[in-house]
Structure 1
Amino acid sequence: MSVTGYHRAPIAEREQFFAEIDRLIGSRVLHGSESLCKLLRYLADHALHHPGAPLKEYQIATEVFGRPADFDPQSDSTIRVQAGRLRMKLAEYYGSDGADDPIIVEMPKGTYVLSFHHRAHATLHEVRTEAMPPPRVGWAAIVLSVLLAAALAVIVILIETRSKPEAGGGAYVDPAPAAFRAFWGGFLSGPVEPWVIFSNGAFVGRPETGMRYFDAGRDSRNLILDHYTGVGEVLAVHDLDRVFGLLRRQIRVKRGSLFSLDDAKNNDLIFVGSPAENLTLRDIPSTRQFVFQRLDSGPRKGDLAIVNLHPEAGEDRYFLGSRSNTPLTEDYSVIALVRGFNPSQWVMILAGTTTLGTQAAVEYVCRENSLKDLLGRMKVSQPGEMKPFEAVLRVKVTRGVPVESSIVALRSGS
């Protein structure tokens, strides 16, 4: 029997379907995926209590993920991405742990309505056994069977190595280094995935004839090109996606020019790039010890600096990289963790005075060795111990690549 929508299932059958949903949510496949579990539960309630009623992205966004009333599914693909992830998880579950479950739950492509099917493999096997005469087994068939069994065993071993707990205790094996979980723990427990907002400056001109930053004093806003970003930001997003993959947590990515204050109110945020290009950073809680500022006087006038507002003994007041008219061999970056508009939300700032400094800042918090050094300086060893902090990195650059980063100033526990 299949239940796909238009007829309300009997009470006893609905209870079986909800029991299957409970098995899915408690499974290894959905372990740690709070947002997917929440989505699955919502879709199941809708399918079984309101059969035949369609579901829209807007409805899911506002009722499941707490999006504001002005949510626009045309510009925000969150729901489609989440639905795609859920489809893959369902397929993974029924191909492994749920292979013998009496009920199969599916979400056909093109819809957000779940379908429930009773598995009928036992009956089918009995019918085929009675209908077919006993086969004659030859040596070729035996050899083929052995080869197929060996191939299947290899596949199973590979799958189990990648996704199942190790034998000998049945405990869940965390693939992420402890330093990652201690540092990023605050971004793993929210009801929705954190936003990663990368900088994309406002430019005018054309790539083939030359581009420059938008100047409000002489340029029309209609000429702004806001779909360019630096190579450091691109590599940074890749690094963050890798780390959050190890932590079994998805991230959502948006360029700074499309990010709004409504997005900032109830989400954990990771800003990639300095306020010079990531303009949203100017309107949200930000750093208090080390701030970005363009110098308006002196021999470095016009250059972007990191200003040390309260220098400690032996620290510089200004952190300035290579001069703008010379090859880039040195840069400075800020790594900071601050509270958001909502004190229960976190904001991470990873920003350099150039795109390569930004890349170095992200690499620093995405590499186990450097992260251990930072955590050691702050005396953090366990998830939940992180407190707001701000740090400045000195970055050595060779041939356009950050090759060495070191902490030159740190404020923690504020």
Structure 2
Amino acid sequence: MNRLLAHSLFTNSKRYPVLLAYTVEQTLLGNASELKERTIGVEAFGREPVYDVNLDPVVRMTAAEVRKRLSQYYVNPEHATELVIELPVGTYVPCFREPAHHLMESAVPIEGAEHAESLREDLLSPVLPADSQGAPPRLTVRHGIWIAAGLIMAAIIGFGVARTRFSGPPTTPGQRTNLERFWEPITATSSRITYCLGVPIDAVDLQTRTIPAIPAGENGSLNVYDVITLARSIAPLVPKNGEFRVLAASDTGFAQLREGPSVMIGAFDNPWTMRITQDLPIGFEFDNHVRKVVDRKSSPKGIWTLQWQVPGKSVARDYAVVARLHDKVTGEPVIILAGILGEGTEAASEVVSNPAYLDAMLQKAPKNWDQLNLEAVIEASVIEGHPGPPTVVAVETW
């Protein structure tokens, strides 16, 4: 273990050696059964005992990178005779084995396999939940190209979404569907549209709504729920041949948002969403480690927080905000699709891509809603990490 920790694959990071050393030491001490995500987050990374593993996936993300770096270390012939330490997918308990098995596997060359595997690892590496905490699946991408990979996925999905869902029911000539009216501030523009996606939650200071500088070499990550939301929100542009770009919130500057309309995806992992909604009738608040959707205009003030399944290990219900407004700060149209968690964000995207759900939301709005700023609170039950049909629980217009 010490030899591994001294290698450049681990010395250039603060998190990777911490997780590897902690899991190996605890296993050797006979505490393997205690190696759960929350325990590692508290003991190894200094998180609070009640921290939300769904919103702070530092353990899952770090473990995925450790697995990759262990593979890179042992594939080098210089380490062929060393004892092998592995961190199998689906567990945080490392295992140890003699190198003979490893040599047997690596001695059989498969033409093209090494290049294909290297390319796959460089472009897209899945990080799957390691326990039953109800955590969202995430995708990590190396060297700053995660947005490109996400965009490719979104484009593939987006064309299917556009062709099967956005068209909506037939209309008479000259009559626009509610979906077309909702997306018109985006589709009618001649300016380039900015899609702004959230960043890893542990890279966001929720109190100041800022993103600290990310050290060189650290991976970004893309929530799978955000990919789905991105695809559904790109769909309206497909038949319009609209020009757009996809940026991480950490790479999005105010000047870029001033260039044209924007679509904000994600809430607590997207400081731009937090800033835009901080003075709106409906917005997000972070109070005493509790993340909330708040309707500040209603009396009494409406508050929605995550609902958990007993014994509180997985989300039972999530809440989101769908907003369509003209932002006074940037002077440009903005659409916001943001949940407390990723499941809520996906539910919000379903509202604005499915005619039936959008019509249900607009029944609570004035007839001239398309001339007003509009916000809605969306509720969705969550089953096995997937959002159920969205329900509109509140609408505000001004």
Using the size of structure 2 for normalisation, the TM-score is: 0.50
Tell which structure's C-alpha radius of gyration is larger: 1
What is the TM-score of this pair, normalised by structure 1? 0.48
